[in-house]
Amino acid sequence: MNLFLIELKFAILALRYRIGFAMTIILTLGVTLGALITMFALNHTLLVKPLPYPKYDRLVTTNFSVAISDKTKTTTDSLRANLPGLEFLYKNQTQFTKLAIFGYKRQYLTDHSEQPYLKGQFSSPEYFELLNVPLYKGRFFSDKEGLGTKIPNVVLSYDTWKTYFNAEEDIIGRNIQLDSVRYTVIGITAKDFKEPDFRKVETNYWVPWEYHNYTDKQKSNWGDFKNTIGGLGLLSSKQNKTVTETTLSSLINNEFQQFNNIGLPITVGINLVPLKTLLVGDSKESAIILLISVIGLLLIACVNITNMFFSRATEKQHNLAIQAAMGAKRKQIYLSIFVECLILTSLASAFSLIVAKWGIELLQIMGSDHFNRLDELDLTPPVLIFTFAISICLSAIFAYLSNGLINYQALKKHLQNSGKGSGLQISKKSRSILVISQVALASLLLSGSTVILEKSLSIINYPLGFNSENIISIELYDKSKIAKDKKNRQHLISTIENRLTKMPQITHFSPSTSPPSVSQKQWHVRDSLDNTLGVFQVNQVSSNYFEAIQVPLVSGRTFTKEEVRDGDNVALVSRSAAKLITPDGNAIGKRIYYGPPKQSVSSKIIGIVDDIYSPGADNSKAGFALYTPYDAKELHFLARVDEGQTLTKRQLISALQEIDPQIRILDYSTVREIYKRRIKQSELIAGISTALAFLALTLTSIGVYGVLSYSAQMRKYEMGVRMAIGAKMKQVRRLVIVDSMTPIGLGLLISTIASFFLYWWAYQNFEVLAETKGATLLICPPIILLITLVACYFPVEKIIKNDPIKALRNE
Amino acid sequence: MNKEIKIQLTEISKVFYTDEIETHALRGINLSIYAGDYLTITGPSGCGKSTLLSILGLLDSPTSGKYIIEDEDVSSLTVDQRAVIRNKKIGFIFQAFNLIDELNIFDNVALPLRYRQPSLSAEETKERVLSCLEQVQMSHRANHSPNQVSGGQQQRVAIARALVGFPTMLLVDEPTGNLDSKNGDAVMDMLAELNENGTTICMVTHDPRYAGMAKTQLHLSDGVLLNDLELGETA
C-alpha cells in the first residue's frame, strides 16, 4: 500500500508536466466511455433491471391473435383483444392465479375550470393488486367495483391530484365529473408508482371496468379487435406458458366460433406476452445496436489511447531504467505504469459520469418515443460499479500493453548509453497492429452507421407525394353531443365549413377521417372472386381533399359532393394500389370488396391518385391507399391556409365558439408537425448514426495521424539520408506513404470482408435492414482511405519540406 | 590484515549471439573485490567494460561462470531476485546522473528505499536521505528538482542516492564524463573520501588521471582482464 501511495505521488508529479497528454486521454476516454455508460444504463434498465412489480417475471398480457385460413395475422400492438372475448376470458379462465382486464379512454374533467382532457383507464380490481400499485391515500377498487357492478368510483394519479386538485388532502370522498358522469374519489396512487408503459401515456385516473362506455353492439361484437383493451395475468410458478396459451386459445376459440358471424374461417387464439418483453418491445434491437456501436467507438478510442501510452512508455523508459537499477522489481515497475494509467482512467471515468449524466438526460428528451422505462435511467449503483470495473480493467489493459513494450533486459543499456542512441521504440509490428485495428474498427463502425443512416434517410427523405406545407389538421370534440347522428354531424361540418371558409387566410376546408399519411385504418381488400388483393390504408375523404393536399389525379375523377353526402359506394385508389388491382394499373370501373364476406361492402373505383407516403406504416413506401367518401363519423378536417398566412388556434376557437360554445379542439397540428412526429424516431437514429460515424472518423484520423507521425519520426534519419543522396521529395513521400498504406489496406480489407458478412447476417435477422442496399458499404473504404492518406501525408511533409541536414541531425 | 571478500567473479564469460555471429564480450574473468577496495577498470571502447559493469551490477547475467556477492551465489538468479540484491547491495553512479526530473532531490535519493522490503518507516527514510544529502553537501537543495541544480550537484545527488541503501559496493560508470574538470575533480575527491571511510568502489573510466586515484587498476582488452596494477595496499 505504501509503495502504491508513493507511485501515486510520483505519477501525479509526472502528469503535472504532461497536461496535454493527460487532457487528451481524459477527454477522449471520457467522452467515449460516457457514451458507453449511457448505453450500458439503457441496456441494463431495459434488459436486466427487474420491473418494479412483484413476480414481474410471471406477469403476461393476453393478446388475441386472429388466423384466417391458417394464416395468423401478426400485430405489433402492445394490447389486442375484443371486448366480449376479454370479458369471457376474465370470467371463465382458471389458468391464471389472477387476471386483470383493463382498457384506455379519454374524458374531460368537466367540473374543472380548465376542463382538461384526461387520459384514463377502466380496469378490474385485480389491476392494482397485480402491479402492487403503491397507495398515497384512500383505497383501490375492491370486488364491489368489479365486473357487473357500476359504482362510480375513481382513483386519481398523484400528479393529477396535485395538478388539478391542488393536492387537497380532503379529496377522498369528494365527487368529480368526467364527461357526464359524477365519480367519487376513493384513492390516490403514490408518487413513485410507475405504470406499465403499454401505450406511452401517463394515466390520470382509473374507473371501474364497467365504465368503458362501449355500446351494447360493441360489447357483443366478437369481430371488433381493439388495441386499447387487454388482460394482464399472473402465471403460477409451475405453469408452462405454452401449455397455458394452448388451453386459453382453445377456450376462447370455442366460444368465438359460437358467435362467429363474420363468414370467414377465422380462428382466434391467445398469445401470452411476458410483461417485460412487451415493455421492452422493439427497442431492444436499437438498444443493443447502440451499445455495440459505442463499444466500437470506445475500442477506437482505446487504440488511440494505447498508442499514446506506448509513446509515454518510450518517454518513461529512462525513469523505469533508473527504477530498475535502484532495485525495482518487475511488478513494481508494472505498478508504476499501472498507477499512471489508473489515475488517467479514473479521471476519465469521473468525466465520463458527467458525460453519461448529460447523455441520459438527452436520451430521456429525445428517445422517449422509442424507448420505454427511460424515466428509470440514472447513474444507479450497477452503472457506477460498471464504470468502476471498466476503469480498473482499462487501466490494467493499458498498463499491460505498455508494460509489454518494456524490454527489461534493454533497460540497462539505456542507462549505460548515457543518452546515446535512440532508446526504446515502438516496434513496426506494434505500429502496424495499431493502424490495422484503428482502420478496421473505424471502417466497421462507419459501415454500420452508414447502413442505419441509409435506412433512416430513406424514411426521412422519401417524397411525401403531397404538399404538406400550410395545411392544418384539426380534430374537434362536440361535448354537447348534438351531432349524435350522421345528418346532424354533416350539418355541423357544413356549418363549420361555411364559417371557416369566410376567413380570408383559409383557401381549402376539407373534412377527412385522418390527416394524409397518418391513416389509422387498414382493410383487407378483395376482388370479385374473393381473392385478397392486399392490405390498403383507408381514409374517408371529402370531394376537395386531393385538391386541398395537392395530390394529382392520375386518371378518372374524384368524389362529387353528392357522393360524399349520400355515402355512395365509390372509391379512389392510389397508383400503387391500382397496380395491385390490375397489373396495367387501369383500375377505373373495377369493383373492390372489403369487410367480412357476409357483410361485404363493394365499391366501384372512379379515380386513381398519386401515391402518398406514410412513414412508419408497414407498406409505407408502397402507398397502397383506398379512399372512400367521408362519412362524418369523425369531426376531423384539414384547412389549407394561404402562403404566408396563419390560422392560430385562438382564431379557430373564436370562430368555433360562434357556432357552438360546447365544441372543443381535440387536436390542432400542422400536417408538417404530424409528419415530423412520425419521422422523429428516424431523425433520432439518423442523428445518432451520423454522430457515431463522425466520432469514429475523427478518432481514427487522430489515431492514425498519431501512429503514422511517430513512424515518420522513426524514419526521419532514413529520409534525411535518402534526400542527402539525391532522392526527390516526391520519391521519399511516395516511399513512406506506400509503406504506411500496407497496414491501412490490410485494415480496410479485414473490415470490408467483416462488414459484408455482418451485413449479410443482420439482413437475415433484422427486419429494419430490409430496405437497405449492401452497396452502401462500398462507400466506407474510400472515405477511410482518403482520411488515412491525409493522415499519412502531413507527418511526412513536415519532415521532407525541411533541408535534409535537419533530418540527419534529428532536429 | 586479511580483508573480507565482498565480490568474487570466477571464470565469468559473456557471449552475445546475433544471427550466426558470436561475440565474446567477456572471456573467463576472475576477479575478487575486497571490503574497502577502490578499483578502476579501464580499457578501449568495446573491450567489455560496460558488460562487466552490467554483470557486476546484476543488470545482466553471465553466459557462464560464477558470481558471488558476500557469500551468496548470484550467477543464476531470476530477474526479481536480482532486483532485490541490486537494491540492497549495489549502489549505482552513472555518467549521465540518471536522476528523475519529475521528482525532487529528496525523492530521487529516497528512491532505492522505496523498493526495499521490508519497507522503512517514513521517519527512518527521511533520516537516512537527509544524512546522505548532508554527506554530499546537498541537504539544502532537498526540495529542488534535479534540473534546478548544476551537473556537479546532480552527480553528488546521484552519489547520495547510491549511498542511501548502505550498499556493499558502489558501481561507478564514467562519473566525470558529463562534468567539467572542476566538478569532475570534486566528485572524484568525494569518492576518494567515501573509500577512505570504508566504502567499496568499482569504477569504469577512460580517464587515466582518475583511474590513477584508485587503489587497484584493472585493464580490460577484448574481454580479457589483462593485468592487475597494484597501486596501493591490497590483501
- Please write the tens of the pLDDT for every residue from A43-67: 999 888 888 898 888 999 988 887 7
E-state strands within A235-337: 266-274
Per-residue pLDDT, A683: 84
SS3 category, A394? helix
Per-residue pLDDT, A320: 82
Q: Are A417 and A368 in contact (CB under 8 A)?
A: no
Q: How far apart are CA A466 and CA A547, in angstroms?
A: 10
Q: Helices B122-135 and B105-114 meet at what angle, rounded to 10? A: 120
- What backbone phi and psi angles, to 5 degrees, belong to B72? -110, 125
A-chain residue closest to B55, CA distance: A412
Mutate to test the interface with B, among A326, A332, A415 (most CBs of B within 10 A): A326
Per-residue pLDDT, A234: 92
Q: Do B111 and A330 touch (CB under 8 A)?
A: no
Question: Which whole number is the average pLDDT over A710-719?
Answer: 77
Q: How far apart are CA A438 and CA A307, in angstroms?
A: 10
- The residue with greater pLDDT, A189 or B120, is A189
Percent of chain B scored above 90 by pLDDT?
Answer: 27
Q: How many CB atoms lie within 10 A of CB A358?
A: 12
Q: Round the average pLDDT of chain B to a whole number and report it.
A: 85
SS3 category, A231? strand
Q: How far apart are CA A319 and CA A342, in angstroms?
A: 18
Residues contacting A322, CB < 8 A, separation 6+: A415, B98, B99, B100, B111
Q: Do A418 and B96 touch (CB under 8 A)?
A: yes
Q: How far apart are CA A322 and CA A325, in angstroms?
A: 5
Q: Cα-Cα-Cα-Cα dihedral of A720, A724, A726, A731, to 10°?
A: 0
- What backbone phi and psi angles, to 5 degrees, belong to B138? -125, 15
Residue A714 has pLDDT above 60, yes or no: yes
- Which residues of A fall within a CB distance of 8 Å from B100? 10, 319, 322
Q: Are A742 and A435 in contact (CB under 8 A)?
A: no
Extract the C-alpha cell encoding B58. Answer: 546484476
Residue A522 has pLDDT above 80, yes or no: no
Question: Which whole number is the average pLDDT over B155-178?
Answer: 89
**A30 — pLDDT class (breaks 50, 70, 90):** very high
| B80, B96, B161: residue with CB nearest A419 | B96
**A422 — pLDDT class (breaks 50, 70, 90):** very low
Q: Are A366 and A320 in contact (CB under 8 A)?
A: no
Per-residue pLDDT, A188: 95
* Alpha-carbon distance A14 to nearest alpha carbon in chain B (angstroms): 5
Q: Are B145 and B104 in contact (CB under 8 A)?
A: yes
Residue A87 has pLDDT above 80, yes or no: yes
Q: pLDDT for A201-219, tens place per residue?
A: 789 999 999 998 888 877 8
Residue A174 has pLDDT above 80, yes or no: yes
Q: Are A780 and A443 in contact (CB under 8 A)?
A: yes
Per-residue pLDDT, A394: 92
* Alpha-carbon distance A412 to nearest alpha carbon in chain B (angstroms): 6
Residue A347 has pLDDT above 90, yes or no: yes
| A13, A321, A326: residue with CB nearest B115 | A326
Per-residue pLDDT, A419: 43
- Lowest average pLDDT, out of A203-207, A406-410, A656-660, goes to A406-410
Extract the C-alpha cell encoding A472. Answer: 392544418
- The residue with greater pLDDT, A160 or B2, is A160
Q: Do B80 and A330 touch (CB under 8 A)?
A: yes
Pairing mode, strands A59-68 and A98-108: unpaired
- Lowest average pLDDT, out of A124-138, A174-188, A511-525, goes to A511-525
Q: How far apart are CA A3 and CA A249, in angstroms?
A: 70
Q: Are B125 and B142 in contact (CB under 8 A)?
A: no
Among candidate residues A155, A286, A147, the one with its CA nearest the CA of residue A209: A147
Residue A735 has pLDDT above 90, yes or no: no
Per-residue pLDDT, B231: 39
Q: How far apart are CA A243 and CA B108, in angstroms?
A: 76
Per-residue pLDDT, A133: 93
Per-residue pLDDT, A115: 76
Q: How far apart are CA A353 and CA A35, in angstroms?
A: 9
B-chain residue closest to A331, CA distance: B80
**A388 — pLDDT class (breaks 50, 70, 90):** very high
Q: pLDDT for A456-478, tens place per residue?
A: 888 888 888 888 888 999 888 76
Q: Round the average pLDDT of chain A to a whole number and report it.
A: 83
Q: How far apart are CA B125 and CA B111, in angstroms?
A: 10
Per-residue pLDDT, B233: 41
C-alpha distance from residue A559 to each of A554, A591, A802 (Å)? 14, 16, 80
C-alpha distance from residue A688 to each of A185, A290, A362, A488 (Å)? 45, 9, 11, 50
Question: Which whole number is the average pLDDT over A94-107?
Answer: 89
Q: pLDDT for A589-647, tens place per residue?
A: 999 988 766 667 889 999 999 988 877 655 455 578 899 998 877 788 899 998 888 88
Highest mean pLDDT among A234-248, A402-416, A655-669, B124-138: B124-138
- Which residues of B fall within a CB distance of 8 Å from A418? 94-96, 174, 177-178
- Which residues of A fall within a CB distance of 8 Å from B99? 322
Q: pLDDT for B7-62, tens place per residue?
A: 999 999 999 887 678 888 899 999 999 999 999 998 888 888 888 888 898 888 88
Among candidate residues B230, B232, B200, the one with its CA nearest the CA of residue B4: B200
Q: How far apart are CA A152 and CA A179, in angstroms?
A: 13
- Mapping DSSP onto H, E and C, the string for A541-601 reads ECCCHHHHHCCCEEEECCCCHHHHHHCCCEEEEEHHHHHHHCCCCCCCCCEEEECCHHHCE
Q: How far apart are CA A638 and CA B58, in angstroms?
A: 91
Q: How far apart are CA A208 and CA A123, in angstroms?
A: 5
Q: Helices A680-714 and A283-325 meet at what angle, rounded to 10? A: 20
Residue tagged 458527467 (cell numbers) = A354
Residue contacts between A and B (CB atoms, under 8 Å): 87
Which phi-psi region, left, alpha or beta, contains residue A41 (left: φ > 0; alpha: ψ -120 to 50)? Answer: alpha
Q: Find the chain A residues whose C-beta atoms sit closer than 8 A to any C-beta of B.
A: 2-3, 6, 10, 13-14, 16-17, 318-319, 321-332, 408-409, 411-412, 415-416, 418-419
Extract the C-alpha cell encoding B136. Answer: 554530499
A-chain residue closest to B145, CA distance: A13
Question: What 8-state DSSP symbol labels residue A46?
Answer: I
Per-residue pLDDT, A194: 86
- What backbone phi and psi angles, to 5 degrees, belong to A482? -70, -25
Q: Are A605 and A559 in contact (CB under 8 A)?
A: no
